[in-house]
């Protein structure tokens, strides 16, 4: 498996090149970044040279379209999606991800019909550039009642929805935090096939009852109570060999420097990967 970083939780990084250097110096394999913004700043050849210089891959981009709101906003965002997909492909990226909130103010059946159609269109646009779409179920209990109506928050419901979307390039963004807050087990992971997983996020949780864990209060791998060695071992067992990327959401900006935080990430990854026998 390839070890990756997002900028989340790493403090005040000045620019993308500093982020790439920090990731490279710490021995990571990939970063998640905005490909279009990178090309706009450095040019296509310049951006490619940056990844080559730091021996990194572009793991995933975020889905740059508002698929949760009204139809006008969705349709207006389609050109940006095409541009983002084209830029990602130029930099060798084959993954694009979005999250699915576990509750909504819209009527659930109506929202499900709209969201299914919209995500199918997104998958078709991305598929034209040979990019997969990852859907992230969100597990923390406080978000299940943050809006009026419950929506999707389990892995199985997300897999069922992926089947309903019906495009072959759609799969899971599997986040260890949401796996934990859903009280899922290693056995649940072992039932998956590797092709069902588009991307993976790694992070840890504080020692709290699972129904009290907040989405934006995550900690570094190996510093909490999530069975990350079991999580990684199960992924390895089913044959998943792609990106495992850190994402640390915090309620406030960290006080440590980005250099210190990336080294903390490196230490955490080494700890949990070693404990998983990897």
Collect the ranges in the chain with pLDDT lower than 70: none
pLDDT tens by residue, 38-70: 999 999 999 999 999 999 999 999 999 999 999
276 neighbors 233 (Cβ within 8 angstroms) = yes
Cα 231 to Cα 83, 88, 190, 215: the distances in Å are 35, 28, 9, 19
* pLDDT tens track for 194-203: 999 999 999 9
Q: Which helix (H) or strand (E) is 176 found in, with range?
A: helix 176-181
The per-residue pLDDT for 225 is: 98
Q: Where are the alpha helices (DSSP H) in 61-154?
A: 71-90, 108-127
pLDDT, position 15: 94
pLDDT tens digits, 239-258:
999 999 999 999 998 999 99
SS3 content of the chain, % helix, strand, coil (to 5): 45, 15, 35
pLDDT of residue 117: 98
pTM above 0.95, yes or no: yes
Which residues are paired to 175 by β-bridges?
Answer: 201
**pLDDT of res. 70:** 92
**Residue 118, both tokens:** 């919209």
């Amino acid at each position: 498996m390839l070890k990756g970083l997002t900028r989340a939780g790493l403090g005040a990084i000045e620019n993308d090149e500093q982020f790439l250097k920090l990731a490279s110096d710490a021995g990571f394999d990939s970063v998640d970044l905005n490909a279009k913004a990178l090309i706009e700043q450095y040019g296509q050849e310049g951006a490619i040279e940056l990844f080559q210089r730091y021996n990194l891959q572009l793991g995933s981009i975020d889905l740059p379209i508002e698929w949760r709101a009204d139809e006008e906003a969705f349709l207006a965002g389609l050109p940006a999606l095409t541009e983002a997909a084209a830029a990602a492909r130029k930099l060798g990226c084959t993954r694009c991800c979005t999250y699915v909130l576990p509750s909504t103010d819209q009527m659930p059946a109506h929202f499900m019909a709209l969201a299914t159609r919209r995500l199918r269109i997104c998958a078709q646009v991305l598929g034209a550039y040979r990019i997969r779409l990852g859907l992230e179920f969100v597990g923390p209990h406080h978000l299940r009642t943050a809006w009026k109506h419950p929506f999707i928050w389990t892995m199985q419901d997300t897999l069922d929805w992926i089947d309903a979307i019906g495009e072959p390039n759609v799969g899971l963004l599997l986040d260890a935090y949401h796996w934990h807050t859903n009280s899922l087990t290693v056995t649940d992971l072992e039932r998956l096939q590797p092709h069902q997983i588009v991307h993976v996020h790694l992070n840890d949780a504080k020692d709290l009852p699972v129904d009290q864990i907040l989405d934006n209060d995550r900690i570094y791998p190996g510093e909490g109570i999530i069975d990350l060695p079991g999580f990684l071992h199960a992924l390895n067992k089913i044959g998943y060999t792609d990106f495992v990327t850190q994402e640390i959401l915090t309620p406030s900006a960290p006080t440590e420097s980005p250099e210190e935080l990336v080294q903390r990430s490196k230490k955490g990854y080494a700890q949990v990967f070693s404990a998983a026998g990897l």
